[in-house]
Structure formats: C-alpha cells, structure tokens
C-alpha cells in the first residue's frame, strides 16, 4: 500500500516520525489499533465497555475571558462558559515563558461569542462548574467533530513529535479514504457462521466507531481474525513438528535409569511416573518430542528432566539442560553431582562467568562428544557452541522462553526432542494461545510429607524472632529485600544496608548476602555454602526467586512484600517447605495499595499455584498473568487473553473444521486466509510455506 508520507496532512517530516512507530504504509496505519477509546459524546447516556473510558465534554458559548497572573511560573487563562442551563468557569493552565505569549492561540480561539467544545474535567469533584480544560475545539473546526469531540475517540500509543491530535486526524483521513483497500479475506462461511461484520467496516469502526455497538462488533471481528490466524499458525506448526522424522530411535535400557532411581532415596510420585512415561513414549516415537511439563514449585520437575536426560545418555546421545539464571544453572549442576555421581555420566555447567579458557575447553569437549549433558543458561544458545550429537533439550522455567527461542534451540539439535518445564500454572485458554504446538504433562501431586507453608503477614520483630527460633534449631532462613542498594527514596529496603544491620542483630549466626550484582564466583560460593548448611541466614534479592532448592531452609521472610507481584511471592515462598519439616513464609509489608493488600491476602489464603494464577489474572487484569505479558508471542494487536477466551474458543473450533476439509488451505476460498497467515507467522514462527 501507499507510503504514508503521501497521506494528506502527513508529508515527509511527519512520516519519518510515524516510521518510528513502525508505520511505513497506509496499511500499517490502519492496522495501528487504538490502545483504548474515550467516550467524548455530549449529552449521551454512556455505556460500559472494556477499554472505553468516559471523558467529560462540554459544549458552550464563551461569555467572557480573562487571564490571571499567579506568582510563580504558572499562568491561568479563564473563561466563563454558558453551557446551556448552567455557567461554568473554564481554566487553561500554562507554564510561563518570557519569550512568547503562552496564551496567544487561546486569545485567538476563545473569544466572547464563540461556541466551543471543551474536553474538561472538574477541578474538584464537588464543584462541577469549575473546569480544567485539556483540549478545546471551535465549533467551526470541521476536523474537531470528525475526530476529536462529540464522538467516541480513539487513543493511540504515541511517540515524540506525534501528538494525539495529529495522530487522530491522520488516522481519520487514512480510515475514510483508504479502508476500502483493506480487503476481506475471511471466507463468507465463517463470517456468516459467527455473525461477523466485514473487514472494511471493521476498520472504520475500530478507529472511529459511531456508537458502542459498532465498536464492540468491530473489535469482535478483528479479534476473531487475529485469533483464527494464530490458531491456524499453531496447528500448522504442530503438524510441521509432528511430520518430521527424527531418524534415530531410543531403547529404554535402564543401565543408567535404574541406578539413578536407587540413588534418589525416594519413590517417585504417581504424576512424576506418568510424566516420565509420557516423555519416554515421545522420545521413542518417530517425531521429535515437544512437551511442556507443568508443576507447581517444589513438585519435583528436576528428577523428571534428569530421567529424560539419562535416557538420551543411555542411548549414546547428548542432552542440554537450560535454566533462566546462572545461580539456578549452578544449582542444577550441584543436584546432578549429587544424584549422578558414580554413574559414569559426563556433565558440565557452561555459563558466561567461566574464564575464556574454561569455556573453550568445555566447548571443545561438547563438540568432540566428551560431555553427555551440558547445563547452562542462554549461553548454550550461542552459535559458537557446537554439539556432536545433541538429541534432547530441556528448558527449565519456560515462562521466560518464547517460541522464537524454542525454534533457535531446536535448530541447534538435529531434530532434537524438547521438554519445557514451568511452574506457572496457566489457564487453559492461555495455554493454548501460548503453547498451542505443545503436548502437556502436569505434576498434580506433591512429594509425600510436604506440609503447606504457613503464610502470614508479620511485623518485622516477629519475623526476626521466627528467624532466630528456626536457626537455633539448625534450620536455615531466607530474608528477601526488593533492592540491592538504597535508592535514596527510602520507601524500600535494600540487601546491602539490611545485611549490615542484620549482622549485628544476629551476631552469633552465620549470615551472608546474595544479589545479582555480585561477581559470579562469589554468588556460587554463597549458594554452595548455603546448600551445605555453612550459612544460616541468606539475605537476598529476588535472584533466589526461581528454582533454588535447599530443603533445610524453613523460613522465608519477604520484606516490602507489598512491592512484589503475586508470581514472585509464590515463587519465593516455594523456596521453603521443600523438606519434611513445617515451614513458614512471613510477609513484612509497609503501606500498600488495595491491589497490594489483595495480593498479600491471596498469598495468606492459598498455597496452590493454580489458585494464585487465577487470582493474579483477576487482580492484574488480562494478559499479565504470571509474567505472560513479557512473552513476545502474546503481542496481539487487539486481542487480550484471557478476556477474549470465548472468541479464541470459536476460532479454534472453526480452525479445526477448516483444516479437516482443507488441510493445505488450497481451496480458492481460503487463499486469503493462507496469504495473511503466512504474512504474519511464516517468519515469526518458522512455519514452512504451505504452497
């Protein structure tokens, strides 16, 4: 479509700024959907709709004006407005500037006898007649009623040099002149079946709806389109992975698995056994495994992963175990040492903190097949790490790895099996949207003997008392703070300052600190010391949030708990209650917002990760469940999950029918669908062209 600079009112300079928003063509413009809408209709009963905000608008006749000079740099311009039935005093606020008259344009527009539209909020809720003006438009301003007032108005994300006013006007022109070019591509059958409006109409109405009904229908249509394309992409991606032949096969020999099981010293839980069976069946199948293992914190995912890795090693292949942080990679390395010693398995940890020489040596071994299992962070993704025969990739704590990273991983291994693990229990709609190409195993039971962690809000003295008590019995404690260093604001506590203070408070205890800014060797030393019970109290930031496993630790004190999200709180709590003894999680909180209080309350009332995630999605709203928002694959233009879960359900139903009758989307009726699908997802998700 046409370059954006040829759109009326834009020109080359503005076009350059719009380019910064990723808008190069008129089509890009039309696809740049509002982030919300403002209901600026005058004298209309306003209906409620998600993302639609009510904005007060006044239409009136200017009676008189005056400017006021206040001491200081603020200048106020005032006008008395006859708003039809009542008089209001409207104020415009400007910063003084001695080089020019900050009111010059106001003096031009706001004259006695003029009729004006004002977007204005009451200065004080009690005095509706005193208005603070945000925007004003003269009655004879034609664009005003087209795009800015007395209608539902779109609100777009902006950038420097692009004002809301300019953006709305440019969009209005694009929409009125060009939306006819946004051709329909959904087959008529689907449109009729779901009662959806046409595409051109949808584009007009999503930007400049005439009423709430139009807005709702435009959104439904465009969200459906978006989710249908995504569901199709998942189905194709899935089909594509399943159609690959690995070209190698596994035999379950048990010469490593059996001694490993014996070394564990505990029985696997029924759901661990089931997950291992699922995984072994996948690994023995002709197509590569793509499986997600979901299990709450402490449910024992690591031994499941190790079993899979050992199957690969038994068969003479290499495996990789990836963790999101170096601390966690180091810890997994220690776990491997504990359970695999004497089995003859060769493994190493590869992180960016290794000295160049060590790294080089490890990489050489990996390439020569001198290592069976490599544990590491994203460092194992670097192109200079070459494997001899990589056949299994395990990714721990998946909520930090997107589809693209997964694809990159798979490219490393020659049609390798992948197992992804997450402690994030996600609602089903989200699972399908995020991981629609994966099979799922869930650890539904906890290792026996676990007692739920007693969680309560506590005063700081009581928290310190609990730490003293537990450590006097030989148990260990975590004390978590939000900051590494004081930030000067003083509202939040820091690891460094509190560490100094706690050293004197707990004079006779062995105490250490851990945070992300420490040199890697030191971090490793501290973690190892804590795991070996040489440290009683670990003062840390949330670096310890994910995965750290020290069963002898029985107290978790979270300071400034109001400042942590639910996902973090739940993960932090998961660091205790990992052994057989009763554990406690104490939330020390300062003053907090209602949402903060609700999070703390949720933590105290349930220990189930699933319930936490449900509450989280309710408190924080759509799409932000347990950090899913950071996920690049969830960048929808308009859809939001779980809000649009039922549209997703319809889209998936339609997708299944569609692919059943026309698996390659070859029917001319589906050509547009195929074209748009490939345009968005072929590159993004590595989908092989259907044609």
298 binds ligand ADP (CB under 6 A): yes
- Contact yes or no for 21/164 (Cβ under 8 A): no
In whole angstroms, what separates CA 75 from the centre of its chain?
A: 43
295 binds Mg ion (CB under 5 A): no
In the complex with ligand ADP, the residue whose CB is nearer, 226 or 396, is 396
220 binds ligand ADP (CB under 6 A): no
In the complex with ligand ADP, the residue whose CB is nearer, 315 or 422, is 422
d(CA 495, CA 522): 15
Kindly write down the DSSP assignment for every residue of 333-352, as one continuous string. Answer: HHHHHHHHTTTT--EEEE-T
**Listed ranges 28-36, 139-147, 268-276, 644-652: which one lies at the site for ligand ADP (CB under 6 A):** 268-276
d(CA 439, CA 279): 10
- Contact yes or no for 513/503 (Cβ under 8 A): no
**Listed ranges 252-260, 267-275, 466-474, 618-626: which one lies at the site for ligand ADP (CB under 6 A):** 267-275
Q: In a 10 Å sphere around its CB, with 0-12 CB exposed, 13-18 middle and 19+ buried, how is residue 81 labelled?
A: buried
Q: Scanning residues 392 to 431, which ones bind ligand ADP (CB under 6 A)?
A: 423
d(CA 604, CA 19): 48
In the complex with ligand ADP, the residue whose CB is nearer, 175 or 306, is 306
Chosen residue from 413, 425, 447, 547 binding Mg ion by CB under 5 A: 547
In the complex with ligand ADP, the residue whose CB is nearer, 300 or 596, is 300
631 binds, among ligand ADP, Mg ion, none (CB under 5 to 8 A by kind): none
Q: What are phi and psi of 515, to 5 degrees?
A: -155, 165
Binding mask 410-429 for Mg ion (x = CB under 5 A): --------------------
Q: Scanning residues 536 to 595, which ones bind ligand ADP (CB under 6 A)?
A: 547, 549, 551, 578
d(CA 350, CA 346): 13
300 binds ligand ADP (CB under 6 A): yes
Chosen residue from 178, 219, 301, 378 binding ligand ADP by CB under 6 A: 301
In the complex with ligand ADP, the residue whose CB is nearer, 301 or 410, is 301
Query: Considering the complex, what minimum distance in angstroms separates the CB of residue 405 from ligand ADP?
Result: 20
How many of the chain's residues bind ligand ADP (CB under 6 A)? Answer: 19
SS3 sequence of 413-453: CCCCEEEEEECCCCCHHHHHHHHCCCEEEEECCCCCCCCCC
d(CA 316, CA 346): 11
Query: Considering the complex, what minimum distance in angstroms separates the CB of residue 547 from Mg ion?
Result: 4
d(CA 338, CA 191): 59
Q: In a 10 Å sphere around its CB, with 0-12 CB exposed, 13-18 middle and 19+ buried, how is residue 166 labelled?
A: middle
β-strands 390-395, 318-322 pairing: parallel
Q: What angle do CA 261, 388, 300 make, to 5 degrees?
A: 25
436 binds, among ligand ADP, Mg ion, none (CB under 5 to 8 A by kind): none
Chosen residue from 302, 325, 351, 571 binding ligand ADP by CB under 6 A: 302
272 binds ligand ADP (CB under 6 A): yes
86 binds, among Mg ion, ligand ADP, none (CB under 5 to 8 A by kind): none
Query: Considering the complex, what minimum distance in angstroms separates the CB of residue 513 from ligand ADP?
Result: 23
179 binds, among Mg ion, ligand ADP, none (CB under 5 to 8 A by kind): none
295 binds, among Mg ion, ligand ADP, none (CB under 5 to 8 A by kind): ligand ADP
In whole angstroms, what separates CA 126 from the centre of its chain?
A: 40
Binding mask 433-462 for ligand ADP (x = CB under 6 A): --------------x---------------
The size of the chain, in residues, is 691
CB atoms closer than 10 angstroms to residue 86 = 11
Q: In a 10 Å sphere around its CB, with 0-12 CB exposed, 13-18 middle and 19+ buried, how is residue 344 labelled?
A: exposed
Nearest to residue 237, comparing CAs of 68, 45, 432, 91?
432
Query: Considering the complex, what minimum distance in angstroms separates the CB of residue 305 from ligand ADP?
Result: 8
In the complex with ligand ADP, the residue whose CB is nearer, 17 or 268, is 268
d(CA 248, CA 277): 19
CA end-to-end distance (rounded Å), the chain: 24
Beta bridge partners of 394: 321, 419
Q: CA of 305: how far to CAs of 261, 292, 336, 419, in Å?
A: 13, 11, 11, 8
Which alpha helices (H) appear in 473-593, and where do they start and end? 495-505, 520-531, 566-573
In the complex with ligand ADP, the residue whose CB is nearer, 190 or 323, is 323
**Listed ranges 224-232, 292-300, 344-352, 382-390: which one lies at the site for ligand ADP (CB under 6 A):** 292-300
DSSP classification of residue 287: S
621 binds, among ligand ADP, Mg ion, none (CB under 5 to 8 A by kind): none
Query: Considering the complex, what minimum distance in angstroms separates the CB of residue 419 from Mg ion?
Result: 13
Query: Considering the complex, what minimum distance in angstroms separates the CB of residue 481 from ligand ADP?
Result: 23
In the complex with ligand ADP, the residue whose CB is nearer, 71 or 448, is 448
β-strands 417-422, 290-295 pairing: parallel
Chosen residue from 303, 323, 527, 537 binding ligand ADP by CB under 6 A: 303
529 binds ligand ADP (CB under 6 A): no
Q: Scanning residues 115 to 144, which ones bind ligand ADP (CB under 6 A)?
A: none
341 binds ligand ADP (CB under 6 A): no
324 binds Mg ion (CB under 5 A): no
Residues in CB range of 50: below 8 A, 6 or more apart: 643
Query: Considering the complex, what minimum distance in angstroms separates the CB of residue 428 from ligand ADP?
Result: 21
Chosen residue from 154, 209, 288, 295 binding ligand ADP by CB under 6 A: 295
Query: Considering the complex, what minimum distance in angstroms separates the CB of residue 423 from ligand ADP?
Result: 6
Place of tokens 């594509």: 240
Q: Which residue is nearest to Mg ion (CB)?
A: 547
Residues near Mg ion, by CB under 5 A: 547
Contact positions toward ligand ADP, by CB under 6 A? 266-269, 272, 295, 297-303, 423, 447, 547, 549, 551, 578
């Amino acid at each position: 479509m046409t370059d954006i600079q040829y759109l009326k009112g834009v020109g080359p300079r503005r076009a350059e700024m719009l380019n910064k928003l990723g808008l190069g063509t008129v089509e890009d413009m039309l696809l740049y959907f509002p982030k919300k809408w403002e209901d600026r209709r005058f004298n209309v009963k306003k209906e409620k709709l998600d993302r639609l905000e009510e904005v007060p608008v006044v239409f009136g006749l200017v009676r008189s004006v005056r400017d006021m000079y206040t001491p200081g740099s603020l200048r106020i311009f005032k006008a008395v407005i006859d708003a039809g039935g009542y008089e209001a005093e409207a104020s415009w606020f400007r910063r003084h500037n001695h080089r020019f008259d900050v009111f010059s344009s106001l003096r031009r527009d706001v004259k006695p006898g003029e009729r004006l539209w004002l977007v204005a909020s009451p200065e004080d809720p009690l005095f509706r007649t005193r208005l603070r003006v945000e925007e004003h438009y003269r009655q004879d301003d034609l664009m005003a009623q087209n795009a800015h007032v007395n209608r539902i108005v779109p609100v777009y994300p902006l950038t420097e040099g692009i004002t809301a006013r300019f953006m709305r006007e440019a969009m209005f022109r694009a929409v009125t002149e060009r939306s006819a070019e946004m051709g329909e591509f959904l087959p008529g059958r689907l449109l009729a079946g779901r009662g959806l409006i046409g595409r051109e109409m949808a584009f007009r109405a999503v930007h400049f709806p005439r009423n709430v009904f139009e807005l709702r229908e435009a959104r439904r249509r465009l969200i459906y389109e978006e989710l249908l394309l995504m569901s199709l992409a998942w189905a194709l991606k899935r089909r594509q992975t399943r159609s690959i032949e690995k070209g190698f096969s596994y035999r379950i020999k048990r010469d490593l698995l059996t001694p490993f099981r014996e070394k564990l010293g505990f029985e696997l839980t029924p759901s661990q056994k089931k997950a291992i069976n699922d995984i072994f069946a996948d690994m023995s199948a002709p197509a590569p495994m793509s499986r997600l293992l979901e299990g709450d914190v402490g449910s024992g995912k690591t031994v499941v992963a190790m079993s899979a890795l050992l199957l690969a090693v038994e068969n003479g292949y290499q495996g990789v175990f990836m963790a999101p942080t170096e601390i966690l990679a180091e810890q997994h390395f220690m776990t491997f040492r504990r359970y695999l010693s004497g089995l003859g398995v060769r493994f190493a940890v590869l992180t960016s903190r290794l000295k160049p020489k060590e790294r080089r040596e490890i990489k050489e071994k990996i390439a020569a097949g001198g290592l069976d299992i490599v544990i590491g962070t994203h460092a194992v993704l670097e192109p200079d790490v070459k494997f001899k025969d990589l056949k299994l990739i395990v990714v721990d704590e998946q909520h930090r790895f997107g589809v693209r990273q997964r694809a990159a991983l798979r490219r490393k291994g020659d049609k390798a099996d992948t197992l992804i693990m997450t402690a994030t229990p996600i609602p089903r709609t989200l699972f399908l949207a995020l991981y629609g190409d994966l099979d799922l195993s869930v650890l539904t039971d906890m290792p026996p003997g676990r007692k739920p962690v007693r969680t309560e809000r506590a005063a700081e003295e009581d928290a310190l008392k609990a730490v003293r008590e537990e450590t006097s019995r030989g148990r260990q404690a975590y004390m978590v703070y939000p900051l590494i260093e004081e930030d000067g604001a003083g509202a939040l506590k820091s690891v460094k300052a509190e560490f100094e203070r706690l050293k004197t408070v707990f004079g006779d205890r062995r105490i250490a600190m851990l945070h992300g800014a420490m040199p890697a060797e030191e971090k490793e030393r501290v973690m190892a010391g804590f795991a070996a019970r040489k440290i009683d109290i670990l003062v840390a930031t949330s670096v310890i949030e994910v995965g750290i496993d020290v069963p002898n630790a029985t107290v978790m004190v979270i300071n400034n708990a109001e400042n942590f999200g639910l996902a973090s709180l739940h993960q932090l709590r998961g660091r205790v209650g990992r052994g057989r003894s009763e554990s406690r999680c104490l939330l020390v909180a300062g003053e907090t917002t209602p949402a903060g209080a609700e999070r703390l309350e949720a933590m105290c009332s349930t220990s189930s990760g699933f319930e936490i995630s449900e509450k989280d999605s309710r408190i924080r709203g759509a799409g932000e469940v347990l950090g899913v928002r950071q996920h690049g694959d969830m960048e929808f233009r308009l859809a939001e999950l779980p809000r649009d879960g039922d549209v997703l359900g319809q889209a998936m139903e339609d997708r299944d029918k569609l692919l059943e009758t026309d698996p390659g989307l070859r029917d001319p009726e589906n050509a547009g669908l195929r074209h748009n699908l490939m345009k968005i997802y072929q590159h993004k998700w590595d989908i092989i062209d259907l044609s």
